[in-house]
């Protein structure tokens, strides 16, 4: 009887110690997770028109305990929200003293409209964060406006070219007319000079 009582007491003591260890380990994991800097991802907008660049900012919030990792291994992916297809990827490693150790700014230019997930992962912290953005086609009225403006600009350039050509032609005609008048004046002056010389010779001959 005493032996059974001792065994039960030993089992209860062991179970008590196991429960204490489990609670302590879970608390330590919770504290260490909260102590790590939080991983964030931000974009300058949530919605974009096709042709606009998406500006991405990934960073660690270092307001908590300072990170003591020797290096950080970053992975940033852009995936199509509908199919999960990988569209764009950046990957880099940075030492503690490098600028990209705690943050980096990236730019992505979408090639087609749709909804995309931008996912950042930090290997050493086992953390990840996701941001969803939407890329829309350029509205039809904006396309029409762009084409109209381009047409007006081309028309203006054509008009300027036509005016320039007209002015050039008028200037050429004026230059030709001036040259003709000047030539006639010179010929008349030459004739007058010759006639004057002949008259002077005749006047001397009569004397």
> Residue 127's domain spans which residues?
37-138
Sheet bearing 47-49, strands edge to edge: 47-49, 127-136, 114-122, 71-80, 86-95
Q: Which of 96, 116, 138 is the last residue of a domain?
A: 138
73 and 85, same domain (yes or no)? yes
- Name the phi and psi angles at 127, rounded to 5: -120, 155
The Cα 115–Cα 83 span in angstroms is 10
- Residue-wise pLDDT tens digits, 145-191: 444 444 445 544 555 555 556 556 665 666 667 677 777 878 888 88
pLDDT band at 19 (very low <50, low <70, confident <90, very high): very low
Torsion of CA 143, 147, 153, 155, to 10 degrees: -160
29 and 76, same domain (yes or no)? no
25 and 43, same domain (yes or no)? no
44 and 124, same domain (yes or no)? yes
Q: What is the helix, strand, coil percentage profile of the chain, to 5?
A: 50, 30, 20
- Residue-wise pLDDT tens digits, 70-87: 999 999 999 999 999 999
57 and 129, same domain (yes or no)? yes
Instruction: Specify burial of residue 14 (Cβ count, 10 A radius: 0-12, 13-18, 19+).
Output: exposed
Q: Which pTM does this prediction carry?
A: 0.54
Domain count, the chain: 3
Q: Which of 112, 138, 164 is the last residue of a domain?
A: 138
pLDDT at 122 over 60: yes
- Residue-wise pLDDT tens digits, 43-65: 999 999 999 999 999 999 877 66
């Amino acid at each position: 009887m005493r032996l059974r009582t001792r065994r039960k007491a030993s089992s209860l003591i062991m179970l008590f110690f196991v429960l204490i260890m489990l609670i302590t380990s879970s608390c330590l994991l919770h504290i260490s997770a909260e102590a790590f800097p939080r991983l964030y991802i931000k974009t300058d907008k949530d919605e974009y028109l096709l042709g606009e660049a998406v500006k991405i900012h990934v960073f660690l919030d270092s307001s908590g305990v300072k990170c003591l990792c020797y290096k950080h291994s970053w992975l940033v992916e852009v995936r199509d929200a509908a199919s999960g297809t990988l569209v764009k990827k950046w990957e880099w490693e940075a030492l503690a003293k490098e600028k990209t150790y705690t943050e980096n700014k990236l730019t992505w230019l979408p090639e087609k409209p749709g909804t995309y997930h931008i996912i950042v992962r930090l290997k050493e912290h086992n953390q990840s964060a996701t941001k969803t953005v939407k890329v829309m086609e350029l509205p039809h009225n904006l396309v029409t406006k762009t084409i109209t403006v381009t047409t007006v600009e081309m028309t203006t350039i054509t008009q300027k070219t036509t005016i320039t050509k007209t002015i050039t032609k008028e200037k050429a005609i004026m230059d030709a007319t001036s040259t003709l008048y000047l030539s006639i004046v010179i010929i008349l002056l030459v004739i007058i000079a010759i006639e004057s010389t002949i008259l002077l010779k005749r006047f001397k001959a009569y004397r």
